[in-house]
Amino acid sequence: MASTYVNDLRLNEMATGDASGTWGTTTNTNLELIGEAFSYGTEAITTNADTHATVIADGATDPGRSMYLKYTGTLDSACTITISPNTVSKLWFIENATSGSQNIILSCGSGANITILPGDTKVVYSDGAGTGAAFIDAFASLSVVDLIVAGDIDLEGSIDVNGTTNLDIVDIDGAVNMATTALVTGVLTTTDTQVATGGITSGSDILSDTDSTDSLGSTGVRWLKGWFDTLTAGTLTVGSGSVTDSSGAISFGNENLTTTGIVTAAGTSVFTNLDISGDVDVDGTTNLDVVDIDGAVDMATTLLVTGIATAATSAKITQVALTSSSAAVAWNAAAAANAYHVTTENTTFSAPSNPVEGAIISVELAQGGTARTVAWNTVFEWASSTAPTVTATASKTDIFSFRYNGSVWQEIGRVQNLAQT
C-alpha cells in the first residue's frame, strides 16, 4: 500500500509494510518537517506578480509549512497568494515584507480571505474546508485576561477593555472615542488641539503647562459663556461680547479697567477712581460724591445740583452774540445765557425762547457807530415797571440781567454807561 499525506503538515504516513529498509529515513524526514512547522520561513514572490501560489509539499521541506512565514519581493499592485492544499487546517504568523507598499491577500478556497498591509504581520489560520476553505484572523476578536506589552501596540481596529487599562505612555495618532469616563490620575499631556463635544467636567484645577503662554479659546473660536466664583486675570480682553454680572459684583481690585468700547451698567457701579478719555453717556441718574474735572464739561441738557456747586476757580459761561434781523433780536435763553448785542438798527428784543423756571440770563448791549433805539418785549419785567433807556454814547455799554419766574423775565441787575472793552 502506498504512503499518504492527508495530515495538516503533509507528513508521510507509511502504510503497513511500506518503506521496507527506508523506514528510518522517512521517519527522520517527518521529524524534520515537524520541526519546520514550528520554524521561520521565507518565500519570495515574483516581481510585480498579481498572484502567487504557496504549496505545502508532500513529505518534503517547504517554507509554506513554517509557523512564521515571511513573504518578500517587489510589488506594484496587490498580490493574491493561494496556499494549498485547501484541506490543510493550520496556524501561521504571516508577514508582508514586500517592497512597493502593496497589500498581500491570503486565500485558500472560496471562503473568506485575509488582507495584510505592507509591513504588517497577522496571526491567521485556515479551516481546511476544501473548496470552500477560508482564512480567519486569529486576533480579530481577541479576549485577554491580563496583557503585558513591553514594546509598542499598533491597532488598526477597536480595543474594548471591560476592566482597568494601566498604560505608562500612550501615543495616539488617530481619534479616541470614550463611551464612558477616562480617569487620569497623573498628567495628561497633548500636543494637538483636544475637542470635547460633550463638555469637560473638572474636579480640580485646569492649568497651563507654562506661565502666560497659552490661551483659553481664540479670536476665531470663542467660548459662549463662563461662570466663575472668582476670576483672576492679568489682562482681561473682551472682543465683540460683554462682561455681565447678574447678581454679585465685578471687582478689578487695584488694577485698571481699560476699554475702547462702551461700559454699560444697569445697576450701581462703584469706582474708587474713574479716568475717562472719551464720552460718558448716562441715561439715568449719576450719583457722584466728589467730582474732580480737569477739562471741560459740555452739558447738552440741564445739570441739577441739589447741594452746593463749588468751583476752585471762577465759573465761565461763554458769551454769545445776538443779531438783529427785521428790527427784532431773537434770543435763545438755553444757548445764549451770557449774550451780547451791538446795535445795527432800531430793534426790539423778542421774548427769549426755551425759558426754564429759575434760569438766569444776561445781555451786554452796546451802540454801533450810530445811536439806535432798543425796545423790549412785554415778557421782560423791569424794576419800577419802567424799561430803561439804553446808553446812546459811543464806546459805552449797558448790562442787563434777568431771572425767569415761570411767566416773565424779571430784571435782577442793571449796570449802564460802562466803558466798552
DSSP 8-state assignment for residue 31: H
319-419 CATH fold: Jelly Rolls (2.60.120)
Q: How many angstroms separate the CA atoms of 365 and 343, rounded?
A: 8
Backbone angles phi, psi at 34, to 5 degrees: -65, -45
Alpha helix stretches (DSSP H) within 212-324? none
- Residues 178-230: tens digit of each pLDDT: 777 777 777 777 777 777 777 777 777 777 777 777 777 777 777 777 777 77
Phi-psi region of 314 (alpha: psi -120 to 50; beta: other; left: phi over 0): beta
Question: What is the pLDDT at residue 336?
Answer: 95
Question: What is the pLDDT at residue 1?
Answer: 54
First-to-last C-alpha distance (Å) of the chain: 150
Within its chain, how far is the Cα of 49 from the centroid?
53
Question: What is the pLDDT at residue 359?
Answer: 95
Q: How many angstroms separate the CA atoms of 264 and 33, rounded?
A: 90
Residue 49's Cβ-count burial label (10 Å; 0-12, 13-18, 19+) is: middle
Contact 289, 282 (CB under 8 A): no
Domain residue extents for the chain = 23-137, 319-419
Question: What is the pLDDT at residue 253?
Answer: 66
Contact 121, 93 (CB under 8 A): yes
Contact 414, 401 (CB under 8 A): yes
Question: What is the pLDDT at residue 338?
Answer: 96
Question: What is the pLDDT at residue 370?
Answer: 85
- Helices and strands, number each (H, E), in the chain: 1, 19
Question: C-alpha grid cell for residue 363?
Answer: 445781555
- Could you tell me the pTM of the whole model? 0.41
How many residues can be counted in the chain?
421
Question: What is the pLDDT at residue 239?
Answer: 62
Low-confidence ranges of the chain (pLDDT < 50): none
CB-based contacts of 143, cutoff 8 Å, min separation 6: none
Of 29, 12, 22, the closest CA to residue 4 belongs to 12
Question: What is the pLDDT at residue 107?
Answer: 96
Q: How many angstroms separate the CA atoms of 297 and 236, rounded?
A: 30
Residue 330: Cβ within 10 Å count:
14
Q: Enumerate long-range contacts of 327-331, CB under 8 Å, 24 or more apart.
A: 331/361, 331/363
